[in-house]
Structure 1
Amino acid sequence: MASLSARVRGAALLAALVVTAPVSALVCGVARVVLPERPRNEPPRARTVLVTTAHMTKSLFLARKFHQAGHRVVAVSIPRHRWGPLRFSRAARAFHLVTDPAEDPRGYVRDLIAVIRAEGVDTVVPVIDEPGRAQPTSDAAPLLAEHCAVLANDPATHHLLNDKASFAELVRAAGLPHLETRRITDVRQLREVDFTGREFVLKPPEWTCMATDHRVVVMADPAAAPPDLAIGRDRPWVLQRRAAGREYCAHTTCHDGRITAYTCSESSALQLNYHHVEVPAIWLWARDFVAAHRLSGQVSFDFIVGDDDVPYAIECNPRTHSAVVAFHDSPELAAAYLDPVPGEVVRPRPGSPPVHWLGAELGRLPVVLRRRALRPWLHDLLRGKDAVFDWRDPVPFLVAHHVQLPVLLLRALAEGKRWQRVNWATGKLV
């Protein structure tokens, strides 16, 4: 059951969204009526592109890019996220509900094939929120590929990338800098590790918001493992040497071992601020890793770069990263997905403003006021760009903040579910 504090926070946030709804409706309504749809380009060959989710900013963002490039976008969603903002975007020319892949993978494939046939889809671009739905989507790729192109790795490669222990093996096989990593299926295995003068991180092999235990434990002694930590062959964990340094995240779009779109950002506390930075060592690492394993699709990495400027990849997420919003000034992004130019890598343009989510920034305001940092906060807010709002496509902003989120809050209150924070990027309560 949800705690009293969670219910109070939920009710307070819901009230704030109701009170501010008229302002959002006025701004979005005027923009919708006054401003025409953004002019579209004429690509060499227009495609019908299927985007596999509608509730996340990254799916909305990619759909807008495909639409602006002259392609036709079809969006699908599971019933739970039927009120996703992409459904109400000018970019989505068609919308369909499909079975949740986490509950019925076969039904999901059946529904996607039906949409592909009905809409004449040329290319499927999977945009997934977490491993619980990413692996079933990857498993479906070979079946979908019988009907159209699919921008995804094969299921076996996807699984190896998603698992932190097997990903570490792939890094080692590519001859790239790596951290000592091993899979732990018995707590007694910790005693075999040399902890002398070193710290290790114990973590689950895969992250999912549906997991019952996704703690990250920092250890300097094998005896420091929490006694209530369930470790076994059916519940393995991963032990990895801890590296100190600056944290970064990178998104890559790949075709047959070649990166066609790339962005790197400094990691933030909740990963809700993105601004492209050039870190040559990370670019070279990503380029060589993708080439070594001939990756395709969308592959994201988390790095730690120490004082020696050596990048260590601590995990891989073989799916779209929210950092893709850093390409907001890059009209070439659609081509990097659908018609890559040989030898060309699309990056965010130099001087492109940083990206944030207004809801997350307003949520930080009490801390900002306590720290008396209002002026720099306002400066960053005004020079940056909201990830959802678009003057020529304003309705998704209204839906995301005043339909999608209130529905989630009401559902959580009705079901008595606990939640810690709003993930503004994925449109979910975590």
Structure 2
Amino acid sequence: MARRVLITGARAVAALDIARDFAAAGWEPHLADSVPVRMARWSKASARVHRYPAPRQQGAAFRARIVELVDTFGFERVVPTCEEVFHLAAPALQCRWGERLFVPNLATLRQLHDKLAFARHCGEWGLPVPESHPIDSVEDLTRFASRSREWVFKPRFSRFGDSALIAPGRRALSAITPSPDNPWMAQARIYGEEVCFHGVAHRGELVAFAAYHSSWRLGGGAGYAFEPVADHHRETLRKIASRLAQCAAIHGQFACDAMFDEAGVAYLLECNPRATSGVHLLTGAGHLAHAIGDGIAAPEAAPRTLYLGPAMVVFGLPQAVRGARMRDWWRCVATGHDVVSRPGDRGPLLGALCDAASFALTGFKHNISTNAAATYDLEWNGEELP
């Protein structure tokens, strides 16, 4: 009988691609989420799709459903892709399944997800980070007002870069209302080339790695096209990722945004302790599944250009028209590969568009952005979990 894996957060393209990779490795993949996921359901990928209650609003019911699914199907691995990772790391589930959950413990996740804690721990571990300071009150902002253009301000718990203020003026800075319940931070602004990397660690050892950059981004900074970085930058980032995985004792997926300054020095900006779009550079032949399932080191990710098809059309095409970048847009589409749909499996493309429309409607109902709606039922901002 094939080994079974449960991949949660099926709303993410990363989840579908991970499922495809596990299938290529001979596993039986299952997907699950708390919202309708047409992209996953309409795919021809050999994966069953399950439903669970909203982790954020129905925590106890979510944990009970996960227990039911794991006990029923005997999953060897539970692999999260979105912010349900924090709810899966709750002590009750960690104690029950241990390393079958491919997630670090909640204390480690807090170290990585809290942007200020991440910067401080990286400093202790000898990893390069920009100067960072806490902002827990409006009064804390006053010492930055005269030189706000030299800093980046962001909530310590945030996602997609939606709320970050890069070198704001006094008026924009005055709109921030930090508090102990809504803590912010100030981080020295680094000028240079922004890059990202995605890592997979097995008991603190880096077993899969990919580095990339994106010239096609949403307003908040999230990229939807992914291109390889220069070899020397990739090796620098790999060493940083390996050191981070070891020092934080990571058992799971993690990704970081970094910046190479004008002198070529790399600085870590923040960490996402979950799957990100960089995972697409590692999928295809089952190597990622072997890394997650058995800790077998994956080969070097092949340099290639990938993109999210729906986003490249819905967001990229208007950006190209407005910015006179049609040639760049066409080159990316013509030479790259869509990670949403595949030859013979075009259903996810339409499904992704329908899912996006559903999140937009949710955002309208709750008066929040579509990005915020995509994590409304599962985001975690440092609360205690049972």
TM-score, scaled relative to structure 2: 0.84
Deviation at 1:224, TM superposition (A): 6.5
**Structure 2 residue 242 is matched with structure 1 residue 295:** no
State the match for 1:236 in structure 2. 183
Measured in 2, the distance between the counterparts of 1:379 and 1:346 equals 27
Contact conserved, 1:253 with 1:337, CA < 8 A, in 2?
yes
One of 165, 180, 205 as aligned partner of 1:216: 165
**Structure 2 residue 338 is matched with structure 1 residue 386:** yes
**Structure 2 residue 59 is matched with structure 1 residue 105:** yes
SS at match of 1:275: strand
SS at match of 1:95: strand
Query: Residues 82-108 of structure 1: CA distance to partner in whole angstroms, max 9, x if unpaired?
Result: 133223333344322111101021211
Deviation at 1:195, TM superposition (A): 7.2
Root-mean-square deviation over aligned CA pairs: 3.1
TM alignment of 1:216-365, pairs within 5 A: 216-218=165-167, 226-268=173-215, 269-270=217-218, 271-277=223-229, 278=231, 279=233, 280-341=235-296, 344-350=297-303, 352=304, 354-363=305-314, 364-365=316-317
**Structure 2 residue 133 is matched with structure 1 residue 182:** yes
Equivalent AA in structure 1 for residue 289 of structure 2? A
* Worse-matched range after superposition: 251-260 or 265-274: 265-274
* Worse-matched range after superposition: 361-370 or 264-273: 361-370
Equivalent AA in structure 2 for residue 116 of structure 1? V
Measured in 2, the distance between the counterparts of 1:417 and 1:190 equals 27
Contact conserved, 2:77 with 2:101, CA < 8 A, in 1?
yes
Structure 2 unaligned residues grouped into runs of 5+ = 378-386
Query: Residues 375-428 of structure 1: CA distance to partner in whole angstroms, max 9, x if unpaired?
Result: 443232111101111124333223223x43444456667x485646899x99x9
State the match for 1:145 in structure 2. 97
Contact conserved, 2:290 with 2:298, CA < 8 A, in 1?
no
Change (3 A) 1:51 1:199: same
Larger radius of gyration: 1
Deviation at 1:292, TM superposition (A): 1.8
How much identity, in percent, do the aligned residues show?
26
State the match for 1:205 in structure 2. 156
Structure 1 unaligned residues grouped into runs of 5+ = 1-44
Contact conserved, 1:54 with 1:82, CA < 8 A, in 2?
no
Measured in 2, the distance between the counterparts of 1:149 and 1:421 equals 30
Measured in 1, the distance between the counterparts of 2:113 and 2:17 equals 24
Change (3 A) 1:197 1:62: closer
Change (3 A) 1:391 1:266: same
TM-score, scaled relative to structure 1: 0.76
Contact conserved, 1:247 with 1:266, CA < 8 A, in 2?
yes
Deviation at 1:288, TM superposition (A): 1.3
SS at match of 2:75: coil
SS at match of 2:289: helix
Measured in 2, the distance between the counterparts of 1:378 and 1:262 equals 28
Measured in 1, the distance between the counterparts of 2:361 and 2:276 equals 28
